Amino acid sequence: MAAEQTGEATSATRCESCGRFLGPYTTCPYCGARVAGRVSLRAVKVVAVMLALVGLLALWWIARRTPVPLLTVEQAQGTMNLAYVRLQGRITRSLTYDPASGYLAFWVDDGTGEARVSAYRDVTADLLAAGVIPAPGDEVELSGTLRIREDFVALTLNLAEHLRLKRPAPVAAKAGTLTVADAGLRVRLEGEVERIWLPYEGLTLITLRDGTGEIPVVVDESLTALTGALPEVLEGQPLVVTGTVTLYRDEPQLSPASVADMRFSAAPPPLAEAQPTPALEATLAPPATAMPPLATPSLPTSTPTEIPPTPTATLLPPRALNTLSAAEAGAWVRVRGRIVAMTGIKGGLKAVLDDATGQLDLILWQRFYDALPVPTAVDVGAEIEIEGELSLYEGVLELQPQSPRDLIVRTAAPEIPWVTLSSLSAQDAGRIVRLRGVTGIPESFSAGVKLPLDDGFGVITVLLWSNVAEALPHPPEAGMTLEVVGEVSVYRDALELIPRSAHDWRPGP
């Protein structure tokens, strides 16, 4: 039988004419006879190439349109290892961050279990540059590579854009009322620093006490590495802290998302449940609450300049920001607070007002801003009262004042910190800084002008959007000595400084 089959195989591969072995040839190389019934090698080559190219393109096309599957932690199992999946949930514990390696990790609870999310150097750098810094209590949606470990589920974040954060608005609370059931709740607490304790290197616990009880505020080294150094805090200082209630051995504690979420309070600020006092609101007296930012020791700051308030005939009572709602869109309201952020937008500036109960976007159109007595007094850190029309833009409430009389500066903004380029890095993206230097040759492009600025420590590109460039009294030119304020940005791995208005461009004499 073996011989027969060997014979079959032999006859199939031998020339019918001369009997010699042919292998894959369709024409006998010895006698030239054509062999019938064989598959053309050329056809096989064409099919192989087509299959490879067309098939690969088809797979690519399908892959691009295949949504990343949503997975719950409970569903995750060993056989899913290395799958690319989506996860939705809430960050439940403090972050782990190693500045040296760029490793960032946090735990996400989706209601069915917890997964550890990790990001490595490049992704972490992108997150920091974009100002996307996760914190306990944040609602997140992210995609990444699933890693099933022996005792937990892990997810590796491959791309910064694949992490979406939503930070819930804080609610006013009292220390004594918080319980285990409040874990995950984002709250705003006001109290007095009772004790500052360092259980070990890298962890600071600040016990905050109010009339109802006390609660520890957790500031660990990951938080300070990610959001800035913890300034000097003294026992007895009044403090307003916004953070998420987390648990340590079933005891509630408060985990702020940023060091900036801790603010000194010279006097008790209006909390959520505190209703405005008409008698106080009707006066022109400076606001009872002054909340200077926790100064970062390493940066130079200047003493705020007092700007005398402009008297007005009649004033609406200021409203607490957490009492404003979308239903009031179109209404004319008055609010007060401190400007905590200000960025340039097309046609003007957008400021974020914070009154310790909530935040509100202020739209300051260029004409309005230019008409202010001292425009630069209205910047980050300024204490103001402002009235205008409430409107809703893309689901976010904003206030638009109409004339300079609608704004009263109670305390002028401190001077923006002056820095040198040697102290700036990609992690400063989003910061408002002040630089001094000499300009290089300007270069126009479709949306504005950009030019280099040399401050003796390095060179940075200053980007003037067309609305800012056109508003300058004199066009920028090479060799100018000037001071520029602007927002640090990263474009193609290079730092840029983007002035927000023409007032940020301050040529020297």
Partner 1 sequence: MTAPFSDLLLWTLLGTCAAAILALLPALHIYNVAGFLLLFGSALEPVLTPERLAFLFLGLITGYAMLNTIPSIFLSVPDESTLFIVLPGQKYLLQRRGYEAVVLSGLGGLGGVFFLALLAPVAARILPIVREILRPHLGWILWTVIAYLLLSEWPKGVDRAPAGWRRWWDAWRSLIAGLATFLLSALLGFILMYRPLVPLEVAYQNLLPAFVGLFAVPWVVQNLLARVELPPQHRARTLDLSPLVLLHGITAGVLGGMFAAFFPVVTGGIGGLLAGHATAQRDDRAFIISQGASKVAYYVGGLLLFFVPGLHLTRGGMAWMLSTRYSSFTPEAYFWATSVVLLAGTLSFFLLLALARVMMLLVSRVNYRVLSWCTLGILLLVVWAITGWGGMAICAVATGIGLIPALWGSRRMNCMGVLLLPIALNMVGLGDTVARLLGLL
Residue 60 interacts with partner 1 (CB under 8 A)?
yes
Of 322, 328, 341, 339, the C-alpha closest to 411 is: 339
Each residue 76-115 as x (binds partner 1 by CB under 8 A) or -, in order, gives -xxxxxxxxx------------------------------
Phi, psi of 339 (to 5 degrees): -80, 120
Q: Residues 126, 429: contact at Cβ < 8 Å?
A: no
Smallest gap, in angstroms, from Cβ of residue 153 to partner 1? 10
Residue 32 interacts with partner 1 (CB under 8 A)?
no
Q: Residues 294, 264: contact at Cβ < 8 Å?
A: yes
* Member of 48, 282, 285, 441 binding partner 1 (CB under 8 A): 48
* Member of 149, 195, 367, 405 binding partner 1 (CB under 8 A): 149
Residue 23 interacts with partner 1 (CB under 8 A)?
yes
- Of 36-44, 321-329, 478-486, 496-504, which part binds partner 1 (CB under 8 A)? 36-44
CB atoms within 10 A of CB 426: 15
Q: Residues 37, 13: contact at Cβ < 8 Å?
A: no
Residue 150 interacts with partner 1 (CB under 8 A)?
yes
Residue 30 interacts with partner 1 (CB under 8 A)?
no
* Member of 33, 159, 329, 472 binding partner 1 (CB under 8 A): 159
| Contacting partner 1 within 412-451 (CB under 8 A) | none
Which is nearer to partner 1, 84 or 365 (by Cβ)?
84
- Of 159-167, 288-296, 327-335, 361-369, which part binds partner 1 (CB under 8 A)? 159-167
* Member of 33, 132, 148, 380 binding partner 1 (CB under 8 A): 148
Of 501, 503, 490, 504, the C-alpha closest to 160 is: 490
- Of 41-49, 252-260, 373-381, 475-483, which part binds partner 1 (CB under 8 A)? 41-49
Residue 491 interacts with partner 1 (CB under 8 A)?
no
DSSP code for 268 = P
Residue 471 falls in which region: left (phi positive, over 0), alpha (psi -120 to 50) or beta: alpha
Of 258, 245, 170, 249, the C-alpha closest to 208 is: 245
Tokens of 375: 């425009």
- Collapsing DSSP to helix, strand or coil, 350 comes out as strand
Q: Residues 86, 142: contact at Cβ < 8 Å?
A: yes
* Member of 16, 18, 27, 47 binding partner 1 (CB under 8 A): 47
Residue 158 interacts with partner 1 (CB under 8 A)?
yes
Residue 493 interacts with partner 1 (CB under 8 A)?
no
- What whole-number distance in Å separates Cα of residue 139 and Cα of residue 407? 35
Smallest gap, in angstroms, from Cβ of residue 108 to partner 1? 18
Instruction: Give me the half-sphere count of Cα atoms (radius 13 Å) on the Cβ side of residue 215.
Output: 37
Of 139, 143, 102, the C-alpha closest to 124 is: 102
* Member of 36, 66, 201, 445 binding partner 1 (CB under 8 A): 66
Q: Residues 453, 497: contact at Cβ < 8 Å?
A: yes
Residue 71 interacts with partner 1 (CB under 8 A)?
yes
Of 460, 467, 461, the C-alpha closest to 501 is: 467
Which is nearer to partner 1, 119 or 321 (by Cβ)?
119
- Collapsing DSSP to helix, strand or coil, 179 comes out as coil
Smallest gap, in angstroms, from Cβ of residue 63 to partner 1? 4
Which is nearer to partner 1, 62 or 234 (by Cβ)?
62
Residue 13 interacts with partner 1 (CB under 8 A)?
yes
- The length of the chain in residues reads 509
Each residue 271-310 as x (binds partner 1 by CB under 8 A) or -, in order, gives ----------------------------------------
- What whole-number distance in Å separates Cα of residue 316 and Cα of residue 454? 48
Residue 167 interacts with partner 1 (CB under 8 A)?
no
Smallest gap, in angstroms, from Cβ of residue 222 to partner 1? 22
Residue 197 interacts with partner 1 (CB under 8 A)?
no
Which is nearer to partner 1, 29 or 213 (by Cβ)?
29
DSSP string for 467-503: HHHHHSSS---TT-EEEEEEEEEEETTEEEEE-SSGG
Angle at 95 between CA 94 and CA 96, to 5 degrees: 130
Judged by CB under 8 A, the number of residues near partner 1 is 57
Residue 63 interacts with partner 1 (CB under 8 A)?
yes
CB atoms within 10 A of CB 282: 13
User: Which residues are near partner 1 by CB under 8 A?
Assistant: 1-2, 5-6, 8-10, 12-13, 21, 23-25, 38-39, 41, 44-45, 47-53, 55-56, 58-60, 62-64, 66, 68-69, 71, 77-85, 121-123, 146, 148-150, 158-159, 161-162
